[in-house]
Structure 1
């Protein structure tokens, strides 16, 4: 195991050497609301794009919202001149996950970097998630209305199937448990039609296809979600892994991608108690599909600090105190052993028992109650198996949300808010 004190972006050199031959680098976060995680992830990602030629960043966000950001950062026709404007249009709660000053700074840098590259060599910004069923449906209508009016019938059939539930897709999920209310056939026809159109090999065709994949994944997700348990989690992470693979195919045989998502998604589930609960995640799926040598998983953690989160699902965000990590946790051990900031690169014969053995590892979602620290908010983890590297911040601070108009989101994800 190698330990490097972090003070400047150049201190990531040992980690960049580790990822030199990787096709996929997944960079996590222990919360969805800590400035330090976003800032350090930004610094690492800039170097991966500029120095190692990574082709895109794919985040735990909705495809239609992130597509507006993508069109801005690559300078696509009709794209917004300032990526921050695109981020400020994010409406789905919790908006602060991506509509924040830290992501805006990175996207402005990415646009500036892209404008100096040939059009075919610009790095993209994409969403992996499954939630945007209605927004993706509208995007398909907009595309077909201009490019392929003959295919509108398939989209209209899918729309009519969901229409009785308005935008309350959880009601569709609940109804599908008791009556023949499933929209699978209509969605499959829509998906087949847009796949055919994607063969035309244009960026708008690909985006329409991906939106149809979101509709298909969303239909499965909302049916599974009302039943509780891990099934909806697995539907969601399989969708994100499939989206990542489509992006790699889209960018070409030598494409390389970066993923930004919570530790619970990017850290291999097999090295946690998630596996015993029947859960998988995109880190595990990437290793299985592409091989361990082609994938680098980077986790984050801190001992104490402040975080942006909400006390209840759908409620306004606020700054909360993150208390010192509990005894016996990964974070308590790192607090005792590591400098204030460090990157740990795992591997080799000299790894200490505390990174190969199991210990509790903190995970904070968009919903957080610090009083749960004595019994919740921790995932039993074998650190060196879950990640290939780990970025440590002894004390973290809250990130800075952008002004955004928030609309209610879906029912709470499983497990809570990650």
Structure 2
């Protein structure tokens, strides 16, 4: 089987590493890939949103399966693009239709979907330019803290949580009137703040059946102690200690099953990953957000713990027989630490040489994110540069090993959080 994987981050490196291990994978291509993915397949200089070039490549290279790693091509409708083209429709796309991808592409769509199917989530209202004054008035009488979410995709940065009405009003105006997040913020969801601890739950669905993958918890804030600006993610751990069998039974019964059944009942085509961003509020799970793909950096701890053959699972998705598969998890804990460029998540420099990258080992992997190869060197090419993932029988040991390797890897301006997993190791 010839597989084309779309994306260039740490998530795609982890997926490439896993896919390439399968005997079913004859050839793996990654578009556009990074300096790390090149070790597992062939990087192809095609942007994830260039559907015409992707089309030509799939035809010319007789691609048998397309795996979109990131949300952009899914939200833009790459599934529908393939299924509406006679030359492409035979190629399975591991991801939802454009309508299904709206679970991530539109916060308002997701909230309305959850309301229709009685899925527990925070109460909310949505506003746009036409209802700006109404929204401002609603905001100023809303209990604090206040959560404001840009409706569309904003690279993980379109959420503001504040206890100051003045700041909330300024952010609300900035999103709608000044296009702070571009078109993504033309509509804003204001929702109730929930107090609890977050986790990420992932399922793979064939549209009828689903399988739950290993749980994870990521850390979004740039600063230690969960302080500072939101980022795309600074690290992750798996499994999540408080995600007990009893808690996960609640998650499955009140959230996962109603979501998959709701999609099917509404005739929404969805064959791929569903990411449930959840919060545990005094033992009860609520949905914060959906994503239509795997998370990053959660993928870098979930995929190393997944013992199944990934292309085999993808084939079962395409053939709607996931119910015949069993998920096998590595019993060890996994911990990943993200190394980022100085200044991230705001302005940062690229092109810094990276040294001290270790070779892969049985209990440790380095996944590249924002890197590129040039003149036999590996250079920084993004805000989030690479993750170090370690596996061990104890989470504390896994975290210590990841931190040690993060210390050994060198590039100018390197920064990483040293407190990933802090709630679980005190």
Judging by fraction of residues, say which structure has more strand: 2
The TM tier, using the shorter chain, reads 0.3 to 0.5
Structure of greater relative contact order (alpha carbons < 8 Å, 6+ residues apart): 1
- The two structures have a TM-score, normalised by structure 1, of 0.34
- The two structures have a TM-score, normalised by structure 2, of 0.34
